[in-house]
Amino acid sequence: MSNEYLKSGRQAVRLLYYLIIGLAITKSITTLFIDRISNAFTLPTWDEAWLFIIFFSFVSRFFLGAYRVLSYDVDMELRRPKIIMDLFGFTFQAIAFYVFSLNFYDRALTNWMIIILCAVDSVWLLLLASFYNIWVTAFRQWIIHNILMIAFVFANMYLFKSTIALLVVSLVAFAIDILFNSEFYFGLSKNKVLKIFVAGPYGDNQPPEIISANVERAKRIGKSLALKGHIPLIPHTMLHGWEIDKRFKVEDFKRIDFAWLEECDALFYIAPSAGANIEREIATRKGLQIFTSLKSVPNVKAEKKPEL
């Protein structure tokens, strides 16, 4: 399976998810304002309005996470089975929201849909985290959020039996999720010093002048990152020349690179290459920030230095 097929598969999952979610939102809005018997325009009751807001808050939260995950291209062998997992996971989630949209005004159904969505989402997150070691902060927060939401919904079903209580908890949960995961959802920088791994072509089998040019480009990027106040890690310079030592194989370079990548907060992606694509993919599934231009890297020094 080529990289183009992988990218096409990811795009198909993305479009299918967006389509079904769009239909779910459209259907819920139609149901809210169109009488289900006469098909005439009508204003919703307060209870229906609260239940719609609950439904929409859940759609929005799950959509933001899906958009973030599905916004990356796929460029490595490891991701092939994950595309299949994403296809089933996101398709189930989207269809569940569409079913939810058909009867969101039913409080009993709302309770059970929230329980099912949160339970399935938690299982899915745990599977992804276990198979691909994606123990990012957002995953942990989502799992805790889901467990607490399930516990509250059960309590509300048998004790409070209140739509307003469910509304308040849903909105608070949504606000907390956005607050704690704003960097994950929107790529917002917290303006802190980052350990940035520089990923780009090296040219193991290329002429020496090509390798030297790639090393120099990585060094220039690293200097610019350092002048912005960050801590760059440039494997090109650290391992430069090792490729002519027959005692080392490609697997040795990968082992060293990936071990250092685990210690970094972000990755600067210079250009495509077999190794750089794998490094970007690892950084993506670890939830690290991905930079592709120096302008997008925040300056954390009080005095701005000129870029080289």
Q: 216 vs 126, 219, 227, CA distance in Å?
A: 42, 5, 16
- As a whole number, mean pLDDT of residues 87-97 equals 91
Q: What is the mean predicted confidence (pLDDT) over 273-283?
A: 88
Instruction: Quote the pLDDT of residue 268.
Output: 95
Average pLDDT of every residue of the chain: 85
More confident residue, 146 or 88: 146
Q: Is the pLDDT of residue 24 over 90?
A: yes
Cα separation of the two ends of the chain: 40
Tell me how far the alpha carbon of residue 193 is from its chain's centroid: 22
131 versus 153: which is more confidently predicted? 153
Contact call for residues 105 and 42 (beta carbons, < 8 A)? no
pLDDT at 306 over 60: no
| Own/partner long-range contacts of 136-143 (Cβ < 8 Å, ≥24 apart) | 136/184, 136/286, 136/287, 137/180, 137/181, 137/184, 137/287, 138/65, 138/181, 138/184, 138/287, 139/287, 141/177, 141/180, 141/181, 142/65, 142/177
Check: CB of residue 236 under 8 Å from CB of residue 214.
yes
Average pLDDT over residues 276-282: 89
Q: Which residue has the tokens 């250009």?
A: 271
User: Residue 275's pLDDT is what?
Assistant: 85
Q: What is the DSSP letter of 156?
A: I
284 vs 9: CA distance, rounded Å: 18
Residue 74 has a pLDDT of 46
What kind and span of H or E run contains 221? helix 208-227
**pTM, rounded to two decimals:** 0.65
Query: Please, is 61 exposed, middle or buried when counting C-beta atoms within 10 Å of its C-beta (0-12, 13-18, 19+)?
Result: buried
Rounded-to-integer distance, Cα 237 and Cα 243, Å: 12
